[in-house]
Each structure stands twice: as structure tokens, then as C-alpha cells.
Amino acid sequence: MEFPFRRLRTYRDHIELRWPNRDKPPQIILLDRTKLNYGGTRPWFLCYKCGRRCARLYVSTIDVACRKCADLQFKSQRERRKARLQTKAKKIRNRLWFENNKPVRPHYMHRATFQRHLRTLSKIEYAIRHDLHCASIRYRRRRDRDADGRYLGDWLTV
């Protein structure tokens, strides 16, 4: 199949990307397929630099690569801690309803969820005001390990 406006030509096992500069040879992007549980296959792009299977490749003016090879970051990785906390607080506020700058529980939200959002929001706002860290619970679950990499603790004996 050919997509002339995108300068693409697709085949069963690869995609051919033509560059606007006619002197440059077309980029060949290999495809890998995995079987699905209920039949059929799912195509994956193969990054030609690292050979990694990925769902998306990013096209720059000179190259096609995966996110890691193109050295791209998520937006949150480019933000400083205070901006990340402000983004997190904004997401929580968007889930809640407000009347006269006072949070009101939406009718579809459980009371426990609403209370959890309020507690998290107050912790985040406190961390923003006092320039502190405010990690989520999953980051606090870190357990110490021994020299072999096994978890330390009384309950785990192997």
C-alpha cells in the first residue's frame, strides 16, 4: 500500500519511508509480529539502532528512531519538582467539583476516594509551599536488599 503524501510505502514485513531530499536513500523500517490470544497478529516496529520492538517510532529531519535512541523524554521528566507537584495537584482538582473555592464531592465518587484526594491534595500543597518532596506511596515501598539482591526481613526466608 502506498501513501504518497506521507512518503510511505508499506509491505508485509517492512515500511519504506522516502525523504523529501531525493538524494537520500529511503529508510527501511522492519516490522516484527506477535501472535494474539484469539488469533491474528500485532505488528511492532523494530528500531534499526537498538533492535528494540516498539509501538512508535519518531521521525526527525535526519533519522527515524525509538524514544530511547532519539533521546526523547516525557514532559514530566523535563519538569522540575515543583512544576510536577503543581501538575499533580491540578489533575486532582480537575477530578473534584468546587463551589465557592471549596471542594465538593462529585455524586459519582465514593466518599473514601474523595477523602483520599483531599488528603493527597493537602500534602501536595504543603510540599509546594515548603519546598519539600512528596512522593507517592509506591515510591515509599522500597525495601532493603542483601548482597545477593534478595529482600531483607523476618518474613522472607529462602
pLDDT digits (tens, 9 = 90+) for 80-98: 888 889 999 999 999 999 9
CA distances from 109 to 97, 105, 115 (A): 11, 7, 10
Mean pLDDT of the chain: 84
Same domain, 61 and 83: no
For 97, the enclosing helix (H) or strand (E) is strand 97-99
Q: Is residue 90 part of a domain?
A: yes
User: Global pTM?
Assistant: 0.55
Same domain, 19 and 50: yes
Q: What grid cell was written down for 9?
A: 510505502
Same domain, 25 and 53: yes
Picking from 42, 65, 88, the residue at the C-terminal end of a domain is: 65
Q: Is the pLDDT of residue 139 over 60?
A: no
Same domain, 42 and 88: no
Torsion over CA: 80, 81, 83, 88 (sign): positive
Number of domains in the chain: 2
Q: Which of 38, 41, 18, 37 is nearest to 29 (CA)?
A: 18
Taking only the tens place, the pLDDT of each residue in 90-126 is: 999 999 999 998 999 999 999 999 999 999 999 999 9
Same domain, 126 and 94: yes
Same domain, 82 and 120: yes
d(CA 117, CA 110): 11
Q: Is residue 150 part of a domain?
A: no
For the purposes of burial, counting CB atoms within 10 Å of the CB of 59, is it exposed (0-12), middle (13-18) or buried (19 or more)?
middle
Q: Is residue 144 part of a domain?
A: no
- Full residue range of the structural domain in which residue 49 is found: 2-65
Same domain, 46 and 96: no
Q: What's the pLDDT score for residue 110? A: 95
Q: Which of 51, 57, 13 is nearest to 32 (CA)?
A: 13
d(CA 103, CA 33): 49
Amino acid identity, residue 155?
W
For the purposes of burial, counting CB atoms within 10 Å of the CB of 57, is it exposed (0-12), middle (13-18) or buried (19 or more)?
buried
